[in-house]
Amino acid sequence: MSAALRILPAAGEFEVADFNYLALAPMIIVFAGAVIGVLVEAFAPRRLRYPLQLGLAVLSLLAAFAVLVLPDSADVVGTTVAGTLAIDGPSRFLSGALLVLGLAALLAMADRFGGDGPDTFTPMGAASPGSNLEAAAARAGRSTTEVFPLTLLALGGMMMFTSANDLLSMFVALEVLSLPLYLMTGLARRRRLLSQEAALKYFLLGAFSSAFFLFGAGLLYGYAGSVRISAIAEAASTSTGEMEGLLLPGVAMLLVGLLFKVGAVPFHSWTPDVYQGAPTPVTGFMAACTKIAAFGALLRLVYVGLEATRWEWRMGVVVIAALTMVVGAVMSVTQTDIKRLLAYSSIAHAGFILVGVLAFDVTAVEGVLFYLVAYGASTIAAFALVAMVRERGSEATHLSQWAGLGRRHPWVAAAMALLLLAFTGIPLTSGFVAKVAAFLPAVAHGGLSGVVLVVIGVLASAVTAFVYIRVIVLMYFTEPSGEVTLAQPATMSVVAVAVGVVLTVLLGVFPGPLLDLAASSSVFVR
C-alpha cells in the first residue's frame, strides 16, 4: 500500500514524494501509541493511568512487531518519503530487535513505575502504615506513568534512526530518540538528586554531540550539494577536488555525534554517571536499545555514504575502537557499584562491535547485527535483576551488598552469573557467538589493523572476565552481609529476566537461525 503526495518546492516545480504506508506502519503504530499515551496521561483519572498506559504500550509494540514481520519483504523494501527513509534488511532487522527488546525493557519498567511497585516511597514525616501520607505515597508511585509514552517515543525515534537515508532525517530521529531519554533519566524517585544530575549531564553532553552532528551534516551538504547519503557517496566516488576540504571535517563531526551515542572513548564520559543515576530499568533500556539504534545509523552512514572515503578516516576510528575496548575493560576493574561496572562493560562492548563495523564486509554487517541482539537481550535482563535486588527499600547496587546472594536468592544469583558469563564470552552463551561473529570478519577483511583490533579485543575480554568472575565469586563464596531482599511485586521483571536468559542460552547453543536471518538482512538499499 502506498500513496503519493505532491510537494511544491522553491523552484516552482512539482516533485512526487512516495509514502509506502505498509513499510512505515510499524513506526507509525509506535508513534501513534505514544501520542495516545500522552492524551491518556493528560485526561485519564489517576487510578486508571497505570493499567491504561501499560496496556496501550504493550499492545502498540506487539501490533508494530506483527505488522513488521507479516508482510512480504518485497512489498516494503525500498526508499520512501521522497527517499528520506530506507526500509531494507538492516533497518527491518534492527526495528524488530528494538520492538522485542523494548517490550522486555517496558515490562521491567512496569514493576518499577507501578503505583504499588518496589520504588514507591514514603515521604519524610510519614506517621505510620495506613496513614493519609502513605496513601499519598502510593499515588506518587502512579505519577510517573509518563514513562510509558516516553519509551514509545524513544523507540519510534530509534526505528526512524536506523532507517534514515539522509542526514537531516537522521538528525531529526536523533533528537526524537534523545529527548525522551533525557526525561526518563531524571525519573528516579529515590536518590533524586543523583538522577537529576545524571539527566542534566546527559542533556548537556547530548546537546553538544547533536551540534557536532548538525555541523558535520552542513559541511557534507556543502561538499556534496545534498544531504542524501547516496548523493554523498556518489560525490565522494567522483570527486574532482572541488570542496574536498569539507569532506574530512564533515565526516569527523558526524562520527562524533554517533560515537557519543554508542559510548565510545573519548565520548564516553556521560555513560557511567547516567547509567548510575537513571532508574535501573531505564538504564537497561538505554544500554540495549540506544546502542542498537546508534550502531544501525552508523552502519548505514559508513557502509552506504562514506565507504569510498574510508581510507581517509578509518585509522582514526580504529584508534577509537582500541581505546574504547581498553578503557572500558580497565576501568571496570576499579568499580564498586554494579551499575557503573555494567556501564564500563557497555563501553568495552561498544569497542568490540566497532571491530566488526570496521571490517567493511557483508559478513561484518551480519556479525554486528547478531552482536547487537545478543548483547541487548543480556543487558536488559541484567539491569532488571539489579533493580530487583534491594536493601532496606533501596536498590542494592554496591558490590558488597551482593555478597552471599547465591545463598539467599539462588535463582537471582544463577541468572546474573549466566549473564555475566555471556558478557565474558564463555562458550555456549550468546556472548561467545557474538564475539566470534564480529571478530572473524575483522581478521578476514580488516587487514593488519583488523588483526590488531581482534588481539586487543581478546585481551580486553580477558580483563573483563576477571571482573565478572569476581562478582560471581562474591555472590557464591562470600558470607552474606546486610538484609538484602527481592523487590515485590516483580512479576513483570521476572518475565523480562526470563526472556533475556532464554535468549542468552538459545543464541549460544542454537545461533544458526538468527545468524541466517542476519545474513539475509545485511544488504543496504542505496
Q: What CA–CA distance (Å, rounded) separates 203 from 215?
A: 18
Q: What is the pLDDT of residue 397?
A: 85
Strand partners, 16: 6
User: Coil, strand or helix: which one is 31?
Assistant: helix
Evaluate the CA torsion angle 388, 348, 204, 84 in order and state its sign.
negative
Strand partners, 395: 390
Q: For every residue of 450-477, which 3-state class applies, written as one string?
A: HHHHHHHHHHHHHHHHHHHHHHHHHHHH
C-alpha cell at 80: 520512501
Give me the percent of the chain exceeding a pLDDT of 90: 64
Strand partners, 394: 391
Query: What single DSSP character describes residue 394?
Result: E
- Residues 6+ away with beta carbon under 8 Å from 415: 381, 385, 497, 501
Other beta carbons within 10 angstroms of residue 362's beta carbon come to: 15
Instruction: Kindly report which listed range (348-352, 363-367, 394-398) carries the lowest average pLDDT score.
Output: 394-398
Q: What is the pLDDT of residue 131?
A: 40
With beta carbons less than 8 A apart as the criterion, state whether 194 and 276 touch: yes
Q: What is the pLDDT of residue 143?
A: 54
Strand partners, 6: 16
Q: What is the mean pLDDT of residues 174-190?
A: 90
Query: What one-character-per-residue DSSP string does 130-177 give?
Result: TSHHHHHHHHHHHTTTTHHHHHHHHHHHHHHHHHB-BHHHHHHHHHHH
- Digit-coded pLDDT (tens) for 450-470: 999 999 999 999 999 999 999
Backbone angles phi, psi at 172, to 5 degrees: -60, -45
With beta carbons less than 8 A apart as the criterion, state whether 4 and 17 touch: yes
Instruction: Kindly report which listed range (80-84, 479-483, 501-505) carries the lowest average pLDDT score.
Output: 479-483
Cα angle 382-386-389, degrees, rounded to a multiple of 5? 140
Q: What is the pLDDT of residue 392?
A: 78
pTM (2 d.p.): 0.91
Task: Output the CA–CA distances (angstroms, integers) from residue 298 to 18, 291, 302, 437, 445, in the order listed.
Answer: 25, 10, 6, 18, 19
Cell 517496558 sits at which residue?
106
Q: How confident is the model at residue 332 (pLDDT cuts 50, 70, 90)?
A: very high
Nearest to 33 by CA among 156, 115, 178, 143: 156
Nearest to 493 by CA among 407, 344, 390, 345: 390
- Digit-coded pLDDT (tens) for 26-57: 999 999 999 999 999 989 898 899 999 999 99
User: Coil, strand or helix: which one is 484?
Assistant: strand
Q: What is the pLDDT of residue 481?
A: 75
Q: What CA–CA distance (Å, rounded) separates 435 from 443?
A: 12
Which of the two residues, 131 and 168, has the higher pLDDT score? 168
Report the relative pairing of strands 78-80 and 85-87 from DSSP bridges.
antiparallel
Q: Element (H or E) spanning 79, and its range?
A: strand 78-80
- Residues 6+ away with beta carbon under 8 Å from 241: none
Query: What single DSSP character describes residue 228?
Result: B
Q: What CA–CA distance (Å, rounded) separates 335 from 224?
A: 46
Q: What CA–CA distance (Å, rounded) separates 236 from 355?
A: 24
Q: If you average pLDDT over each of 73-87, 198-212, 390-404, which comes out highest?
A: 198-212
Report the relative pairing of strands 484-486 and 394-395 from DSSP bridges.
unpaired
Q: What is the pLDDT of residue 243?
A: 66
Q: How confident is the model at residue 119 (pLDDT cuts 50, 70, 90)?
A: very low
With beta carbons less than 8 A apart as the criterion, state whether 463 and 329 touch: yes
Q: How confident is the model at residue 140 (pLDDT cuts 50, 70, 90)?
A: very low
